[in-house]
Amino acid sequence: MKTVLGILGTLLVLAAAYFGMYRGWRNRQSRQSDLSPLPAVPEVKVSGVEGVYVATTSAGDWMDRIAVHELGVRSIADLAVSEAGLIFHRQGATDVFIPADHLTGVRTDRGIAGKVAAEKSGLVVVTWTHDGRELDTGFRPRRKADTAALTESIATLIGAEQR
């Protein structure tokens, strides 16, 4: 009998924890509901760098994940850099397009909501503006060698836009 009560108690605690996480995510979405929809993804045929789209957060607050418009959904993706901007082609989630004129910075970092890399420069973090908010989007390239090249090409794109 004690075993059955122990199992039921554990299941009850787990159910309460999942319910709490669900409510927290829904509350976050309602707080962020004023963020307008993202721009449509253009039809650009550019090959991308394979990796993982980690998340989008409020700029400067690496734990404040953006929950609306699927920006907080982690997914396998490839990141294409084009003259139009950045295109994250994601599996299992809506693609994300960041227009070149919205980009304000790029850096490498160790972590962003939901992912902390072992090495200091394991993530490419792009800072951009949307609807009057400054946001950070994290991307983890599959190959370590792609990190520097990706960062450089995004920095070049930002520099070209600021002229």
What is the tens place of the pLDDT at every residue in 36-64?
788 888 887 777 899 999 999 888 887 88
Specify whether the CB–CB gap between 119 and 145 falls below 8 A. Answer: no
pLDDT exceeds 50 at position 163: no
pTM for this model (two decimals): 0.79
d(CA 126, CA 86): 10
Give how far Cα 28 sits from Cα of 33, 55, 60, Å: 9, 14, 18
54 within 8 A of 140, measured Cβ to Cβ: yes
Give tens-digit pLDDT for 92-132: 999 999 999 999 999 988 877 766 766 777 889 999 999 88
| pLDDT confidence of residue 160 | 58
- In this predicted structure, what is the pLDDT of residue 66? 86
